[in-house]
Amino acid sequence: MSAATLAELPVGSDAIVQAMPTGRSCLTRLREMGIVPGTRVRVTRRAPLGEPIEICVRGSHLSMRNHEAAFIAIRSAVGA
Amino acid sequence: MSTSAPDTPLIAIVGNPNSGKTTLFNLLTGLKQKVANYPGVTVEKKIGECYSQHGKKLRLIDLPGAYSLNARSPDEAVLRDVLLGRRPETPRPDRVVCVIDSANLERNLYMVSQVLELGLPTILVLNMIDVAAQREWHIDAKRLSEELGVPVVQTNAVTGAGLIELKLTLSREDLAAPQWENAALPEGVRAALEHSRDELRQTGAIHTRSSLLEPLYLLSDHDPTHYGIADSQMARIHELRGRMEADFPGWEDALVAERYRRIEELCAKVLKRPDQEIETITTKLDRILLHPVLGFVNLLLVLGLLFFLIFKVAEGPMGWIETGFGALGSWVEGLMSPGDFRDLIVNGVVPGVGGVVIFLPQILILFFFIGIMEDTGYMSRLAFIMDWAMSKVGLNGKSFLPFLSSYACAIPGVMAARTIDSPKDRLITILIAPLASCSARLPVYSLLIGVLFPAGRVSAWVQAGIMLGLYALGTFGAFFFAWVFNKCVMKGSASPMILEMPAYKMPAIRSILLHVWQRARMFLVRAGTIILGISILIWAASTYPKTQGDTSAQQMEHSFAGRAGKFIEPAIAPLGYDWKIGIGLIGSFAAREVFNSTMGVVYAVESEDDDNLAPLRDKLAGERRPGGGLVYTPLVCISLLVFYVFAMQCVSTVAIVRRETGSWKWALFQLGYMTGTAYLLSLLIFQIGSALGF
Option in A20, A33, A48 nearest B498 (CB): A33
Residue B6, C-beta contacts closer than 8 angstroms, at least 6 positions apart: none
Whether residues B500 and A29 touch (CB distance < 8 A) is answered with no
Q: How many CB atoms are closer than 10 A to CB B195?
A: 14
A22: which DSSP letter? S
* pLDDT attached to residue B1: 41
Whether residues B388 and A59 touch (CB distance < 8 A) is answered with no
Q: CA-CA distance, B103 to B105, in Å (whole number)? A: 6
Q: CA-CA distance, B99 to B63, in Å (whole number)? A: 11
CATH number belonging to domain B10-171? 3.40.50.300
How far is A43 from chain B, CA to nearest CA, in Å? 13
B497 touches chain A (CB under 8 A): yes
B274 touches chain A (CB under 8 A): no
* pLDDT attached to residue B344: 82
Q: How many CB atoms are closer than 10 A to CB B455?
A: 12
* pLDDT attached to residue B4: 45
Whether residues A56 and B290 touch (CB distance < 8 A) is answered with no
Q: Is residue B60 within 8 Å of residue B90, measured between CB atoms?
A: no
Whether residues B260 and A36 touch (CB distance < 8 A) is answered with yes
Residue B323 identity (one-letter amino acid): T
pLDDT in tens, B582-625: 888 887 877 787 777 777 767 765 544 455 566 777 888 888 88
Residue B665, C-beta contacts closer than 8 angstroms, at least 6 positions apart: none
B632 touches chain A (CB under 8 A): no
B184: which DSSP letter? P
Write out residues in chain B with pLDDT < 50, as ranges: 1-4, 607-609
Whether residues A36 and B500 touch (CB distance < 8 A) is answered with no
Report chain B's terminal Cα–Cα distance, integer Å: 74
ipTM, two decimals, is: 0.93
Whether residues B110 and A32 touch (CB distance < 8 A) is answered with yes
How far is A10 from chain B, CA to nearest CA, in Å? 16
* pLDDT attached to residue B3: 46
Q: CA-CA distance, B81 to B142, in Å (whole number)? A: 31
Contacts of B253 in chain A (CB under 8 A): 20, 22-23, 27-28, 31, 36
A66 touches chain B (CB under 8 A): no
From first to last of the 80 residues of chain A, give the pLDDT tens digit.
445 999 999 999 999 999 998 877 778 889 999 999 999 999 999 988 888 999 999 989 999 999 889 999 999 887 65
Q: Which helix (H) or strand (E) is B356 found in, with range?
A: helix B350-357
- pTM metric for this prediction: 0.82
Domain at A4-76, CATH class: mainly beta
How far is B472 from chain A, CA to nearest CA, in Å? 23
- Nearest of B667, B171, B101 to residue B434 by alpha carbon: B667
* pLDDT attached to residue B471: 85
* pLDDT attached to residue B305: 86
By CA distance, what is B382's nearest residue in A? Answer: A47
Domain ranges of chain B: 10-171, 187-248, 532-691
Domain ranges of chain A: 4-76
What does each C-alpha distance from B324 to B352, B362, B519, B548 come to in angstroms? 13, 17, 23, 32
Contacts of A27 in chain B (CB under 8 A): 253
Contacts of A25 in chain B (CB under 8 A): 72, 222, 493
B292 touches chain A (CB under 8 A): yes
